Structure 1
Amino acid sequence: MTPATYHRASRYLHWAMAALIFYMVFLGWTLEDKDGGLFSRYQMHKSVGFLILLLTFVRIGLRVAYKAPPEIEGPKWQMAAARAVHIGFYVLMIGLPLTGWALVSTAKVPVPTLWFGVVPIPHLPLGHDTHEVFEALHGLFAKLIFYVLIPLHVGAALMHHFVHKDDTVTRILPGLEPKPTILQSALNVRWLVPAVAVAGAFVLATFMMRGAKAPEPAPVAAPERVETVASAEPETVTSEAASSTGSASSSTASSTAVPVWTVSKAASYIHFATTFNGEAIKGGFGSYTADITFDPQRLDQSKATVVIDLASVNSGDQTRDDTLKSDSFFNTAATPKATFKATTFTQTGPDKYLARGRLTLHGQTKPFDLPFTLKINGKQAVMTATARLNRLDYGVGSGEWTATDAVPNAVSLDLKVTATTK
């Protein structure tokens, strides 16, 4: 017997996949929004893409297993166009997930994919040089399915239902009036199926998995009014700076050494913060040395050198850390250390100072100023500082990473040093 409608499983799958496709389109629009939920939306985008790929093959199997209702007779061009649109949907429902898979597999940063956070999806063995090709194909396929195939498919269905008044739509959505008026169709609860598919997809994709706006890098604190100026170079010490300590303190300074401070690693840290595709990234360095000789009363004799082992970077993700160590960023094989040498200290306010020196990073040395707050209680001192560093000034981020759309140029620094002296 010739069926009058599609098999029930095929009908259910049709509307489920319609909802998923609309969901993917709407979710794709939100991937331009840089907020704290962006990474989760990317992961969901990938997971649903693989689900659509799987369901497409299930749908093809159902089409083979169960006989479809006969084609609605009409002009040959209309029947040919209908076949072309249906074939186009199958091609794109397979092509979109596959190009997305290739896109993820060829990215410079190979972010792992877990299907709905559980099943790991391996990367395809493709070269990074094909990334832009798959990116262009994926974008083209997405535009074709949303701006061409969906309008043609929906428009043709409405034309058949309201103009030709045939059974095209009732084969996939049984229960509608066979020769409806617009009012009869509007009152038929069966129309809730496509309405819920589209509206539900829009609401879920647009408002779920949103996060707070990605934090901006902390601005460099503006130095306050300078009260005392000193330099590690004897010839740069002005007579005003020398006289500000008074004759008594000068006498004391000449008879005692400037305190040498020993850093307590357990109570100190060197942290950084940035974003990747809108996701907030925080990390730090676990290995460093600090040689600090400092006295607030003898800034001209104070100095500090901090050497950071860049290979000790830890951002909470091993894959990301390996990328940071690679030649695309720190290139730890060639330049394993970052060094900040402060040679000039300026007091800018009560317990506030500015360290001027030079920072060597990624093989480049440039002037760098670090404003900080210092609290000294007997033989213990606590220094805290926030600053901003522009990574591209030091060549950190090469190739596609010179662009600032995924990773911004400015990186926030957050420092705390707890030290003691004898």
Structure 2
Amino acid sequence: MAAGLVISAPASGVGKTTLTLALARAWRNSGLRVQCFKSGPDYIDPAFHAAATGRASVNVDSWAMGRGTISHLVSRGIDADVVLAEGSMGLFDGVAARGVCGTGATADIAEMLDWPVLLVIDPSGQAQTAAAIAAGLRDYRPGVRLAGVVLNRVASPRHEALVRRALLDVGIAVFGALPRHAEISLPKRHLGLVQAEEQAEIGKLIDEAARFVAEHVDLDAVLRSAATWSPQPAASGVNVTPPGQRIALARDAAFSFVYPHMLEAWRAAGAEISTFSPLADEGPDPSADVCWLPGGYPELQAGKIAANARFRSGLRAFAETRPVHGECGGYMVLGTALTDADGIRHEMTGLLGLETSFAKRRMHLGYRLAELAAPMPGHQAGARLRGHEFHYSTIVAQPDTPLAVVHDATGAVIAETGSRRGQATGTFFHLIAEDR
């Protein structure tokens, strides 16, 4: 039997990831087996979870996935002692319209699994008001239970005492209070945290976070607050069809946004995956029957990608006879050109006519439901695909045949339709699951 707990907050940027990593590493150091999950569409946090626990972490998403899929993914915690689900944004933040089994809110996962919520509160600029916020979150939705609170970035012992007293007065347990500590701050860039694989000192940073949190938080009390949990057999797995039998997958610092559950589903269906690095000027495996370019940060490496002739010629040769698909950043690289944030235009592979620019940043963020107008690797025309879009590029040109009719979570049709030309296809959204 495992102990299950959801870590959430009133908003983004409060310290959920740091606390999750610290708890996971501290309990692992004490000899416990710890399994993490991420609620919502996020590529970066699961890699940090894996660094902290030594176990792969996956995303669970109530808007894109059904209960059976979520149960299937969470069942990987069957042999763990502690299971932590890190939330996204604020506890109840999701979209206005329900998806498969919820709005994408962290609260959906907490209620579905019947796990209590450990709330991270940053009381900067507040005192008793922090207790009002915590009490409001506790009482907002009857099916969601609050385990207690960890305070983060408290200004002084007097500040801590004021907030603690107010929380205790409304019956909310305080498990600890963290003063500001710059040594455990995780570096950020425009799509979130700098990726774990890019940080050579990530292990030391997580160890320091674990030490710091163990010094200021009652870890035993937090563990006692978790729900005793045993996963139930899942009726279904992940609704994802592999794009081919042998998949050449671009994988490096520029092409790293791949949901772990996708790769696991591909392998579970019998597919083989071979990776290659466009940044190392490598082309796809010639023995593969499909090539997949995921998203990532090609805009930070556009000059290098443009200069890597072996990668570009190898990809073009591959696409003459076999399908190539790109998601978001991968889609941009399949296009004609990419203009970086400095206004420099870089030639891309030219398999599609798409041209994008980061010179004038515009954020595109949200869930996407796409109905394919033409087939793409692994999916036939008419398939309904659920995914998520998050980037800062502007479309300069998207002249090819649209790949899909794409709606946002409100049902509104959006302009980012994806493209198809010959064997090449691309989408701005990252695939999470297929409606079936």
TM-score interval, smaller chain: under 0.3
When you count helix as a share of all residues, which structure comes out higher?
1
TM-score by length of 2: 0.25
Q: Which has the higher contact order (CA 8 A, sep 6+)?
A: 1
TM-score by length of 1: 0.25
